[in-house]
Every structure is written in C-alpha cells, then in structure tokens.
Structure 1
Amino acid sequence: MGYLFLAISIVTELIGTTFLAYSEGFTKLKPSIISATAYIICFYVFSKALTMNLHLSVAYATWSAVGLIVTSLISVFLFKEGITLAGIIALAMITIGIVILNLFGTPPQ
C-alpha cells in the first residue's frame, strides 16, 4: 500500500510541475491553482506513504528520480525542449541507481 501512495504522490507531483510551467510564474490563475493543489496533495500523500513502512531514503529517492525522469520526458515531448545524449545517459544512470537502491538499499525488516 505504501508504494501505491508513493505512486499517487509522484503522479500529483508531475501534474503540479507540468502546470507550474503553464502558470507562467504564477501569472495565470487556473494553472497556478492546479499546480499548488497538486503539490499539496503530493506532499500529503507522500507523508502517508512514509507511515506504511517505506524507508524515507528509498521513498524520497524513488519519488525524486521518477519525477525527474518523467518531467524530462514531459519537457521533451510536451514542451518540445531538447535533450542531449549526455542527458539521456544521466537519466539512464539515475534509473539504474534507483533500481539498485530499491532492491538492495535498505536492510530487511
């Protein structure tokens, strides 16, 4: 159940980040409200995930890495921003690091 809450937290963080770009520095009301609401939900649900036996280190690393990777994809495909080969390699290395952390990063309970 903890990973379900973590996934919801990641999705709402991605919504918040995407609408943050649309808010144009919080000058547009609707995207600003969506962004702020999504971030509030994101952090609330993340805190709930931590009460379900997820280690903070693994949960936060997973949350931030998945957010970074998917945000990068959103920026490339939705906002038509470029990415270099070095950027792609860096994202692959982050992915590998998160998989290793989730598999071997914490002692068994």
Structure 2
Amino acid sequence: MKAYLFLFLAITCEVVATSSLKLSNSFTNLIPSIITIVGYCASFYLLSMTLKTIPVGIAYAIWSGIGIIFVSIIAWVFFKQALDLAALLGMGLIMLGVIIINVFSNVGAH
C-alpha cells in the first residue's frame, strides 16, 4: 500500500508541475518555473520509489493516465481550455483502463 501512496504523491507533484509549466510562460516567470522544476524532480523521485514494488508498465500507466485526467480538468477549470465529447470519452476510457488494471490485474502491487 505504501507504493500506491508514493504513486499518488508522484501524480500530484506531476500535475502541479505541469500546471505550473503553463504559468511559467516558457520559464520567464520565476515562481512558476521553480515550482515546475521542483515538482517534476519530486514526481520522478516518488515514481522511482513506487517502482520498487509496482512493475514499471503498471505504475507508468496509472501515473500518466491519472495525470492526463487531472491536468485536463485543471486546464478546463483554471485555463478555460475546452474539452469536447471526444476528449471526455477518451479520458473516460483512460480511467476505465486504470480501474481495470487495479481491480483485475495480478501484476500490480496488491
């Protein structure tokens, strides 16, 4: 279960870093740029801790899938970026994939 805590924290750091990347304005705004760099470093470190227990393919699928969904929601809410039906359907399928991996796969850390 500790591995999933590290994975959740890695996803959180990655989402914060990616959202700050937008605000960094190509690394011309100092504070968002620092948050981006620190966030990605923390995310990769935490992901590496996750990989001690969870296979890399499973961890990366969960990390990237949930990250995509959260970044898209943040972009929609804070940056007013539109999500059309195809985008929502695709994210729904990503979430379904993450659920299937966690509930039915025997290769993850359970």
What range is the shorter-chain TM-score in? Answer: over 0.9
Counterpart code for 2:99: V
The alpha-carbon distance between structure 1 residues 107 and 10, as it changes in their structure 2 partners (threshold 3 A), is closer
CA offset at residue 102 of structure 1?
A: 2.0
The alpha-carbon distance between structure 1 residues 107 and 19, as it changes in their structure 2 partners (threshold 3 A), is closer
Residues 18-57 of structure 1 aligned to structure 2 (within 5 Å): 18-51=19-52, 53-57=53-57
Task: Name stretches of at least 5 consecutive residues in structure 1 with no aligned partner.
Answer: none
List, as ranges, runs of 4+ consecutive aligned residues in structure 1 with deviation greater than 4 Å: none
Residues 57-68 of structure 1 aligned to structure 2 (within 5 Å): 57-68=57-68
Q: Which residue of 2 aligns with 1:96?
A: 96
Q: Which residue of 2 aligns with 1:77?
A: 77
CA offset at residue 65 of structure 1?
A: 0.3
CA distance in 2, matches of 1:21, 1:42: 17
- C-alpha RMSD of the superposition: 1.4
CA offset at residue 97 of structure 1?
A: 1.1
TM-score w.r.t. structure 1 length? 0.93
CA distance in 2, matches of 1:41, 1:56: 17
Q: Which residue of 2 aligns with 1:6?
A: 7
